[in-house]
Amino acid sequence: MIAELKVGPQVAADSSQITGRATKDGAITAQDIHARFHEATYRGGVYSGGMAALTAINAATFTSATLGATCTPIAGVWNPANSPVNLAILQAILGQTLTALVNTGGGPFIWAVGTGQSALTLGNAPLNRKTLAKQGSQAKDLSGVALTGLTGSLIVACASALFGGSAMDVTETDTAAGFAVGQQAAVENIDGSFIVPPGGILALLATSTPVAHSAVSGLVWEEITV
């Protein structure tokens, strides 16, 4: 079989057939095409949610000690039971700041999950990363939102690589002259290794109750037809 190659870039419409690309000296060309999430975003399938406003997370409801209907994910998403898509989670973002001299960290952080959920009543519309409009998603953004209507409880799935704020989960008493510099932000590249099916929930939680901590968060996913 002879491989037919064409030297140089080509411009083609969807569903058309093209030949492979070669360099001027006849070598087969391989290259990175745009950015990592460009194609999925350009096709309109990438959405995000999160706490965009700095939000105090100084309550047990933001932790793994509360896994029922009052649980409030720091970052989270629900895929309704009648959804025609799976949510392939791409990235998670967490930024924290200390808000008082006496503070206690909430980490390490964990991911909690739930399945078979069809009765949640709250949640926000996610942002479409192509149109920049909060419409088109099958999912509900649960970041900073109580899981009202949850049946049963979430379960802890695994550790998260996210961090921020005080690294200590015991009380630190700083001074105005020596205020501790808390870690600020982190990104966890999940790259599709979490898929939230219809009826599923994914929630980021602290493992101990933070004191004097506020946070912003983000969760990015691609919606893929089941």
Looking at residues 138-147, what average pLDDT do you find? Answer: 98
Question: For position 82, what pLDDT does the model report?
Answer: 97
Nearest to 65 by CA among 156, 134, 4, 139: 156
- Residue 204 in contact with residue 156, Cβ under 8 Å? no
Considering the domain architecture, whether residues 23 and 110 belong to the same structural domain is answered as no
Instruction: Report the C-alpha gap between 95 and 85 in whole angstroms.
Output: 29
How many domains, in total, are found in the chain?
2
Question: For position 3, what pLDDT does the model report?
Answer: 65
Its domain, for residue 176, covers: 36-225
Task: State pLDDT tens for residues 178-219.
Answer: 665 565 679 999 999 999 999 999 999 999 999 999 999 999
Considering the domain architecture, whether residues 14 and 75 belong to the same structural domain is answered as no
Place of tokens 């704020």: 165
Considering the domain architecture, whether residues 15 and 121 belong to the same structural domain is answered as no
Task: State pLDDT tens for residues 56-72.
Answer: 999 999 999 999 999 99
Considering the domain architecture, whether residues 45 and 140 belong to the same structural domain is answered as yes
pLDDT, averaged across the chain:
91
Considering the domain architecture, whether residues 92 and 137 belong to the same structural domain is answered as yes
Helices (H), 2-138: 38-42
pTM above 0.95, yes or no: no
Considering the domain architecture, whether residues 63 and 18 belong to the same structural domain is answered as no
Q: Does residue 35 or residue 116 have the better pLDDT?
A: 116
How crowded is residue 16: how many other Cβ atoms within 10 Å of its Cβ?
Answer: 8
Considering the domain architecture, whether residues 82 and 136 belong to the same structural domain is answered as yes
Question: For position 127, what pLDDT does the model report?
Answer: 98
The torsion angles phi and psi of 52, rounded to 5 degrees, stand at -80, -30
- pLDDT band at residue 171 under the 50/70/90 scheme: confident
Question: For position 118, what pLDDT does the model report?
Answer: 97
Q: Does residue 167 or residue 106 have the better pLDDT?
A: 106
| Lowest-pLDDT range of 1-5, 6-10, 35-39, 159-163 | 1-5
Identify residue 140 by its one-letter amino acid code. Answer: K
Question: For position 179, what pLDDT does the model report?
Answer: 62
Considering the domain architecture, whether residues 122 and 213 belong to the same structural domain is answered as yes
Considering the domain architecture, whether residues 117 and 219 belong to the same structural domain is answered as yes
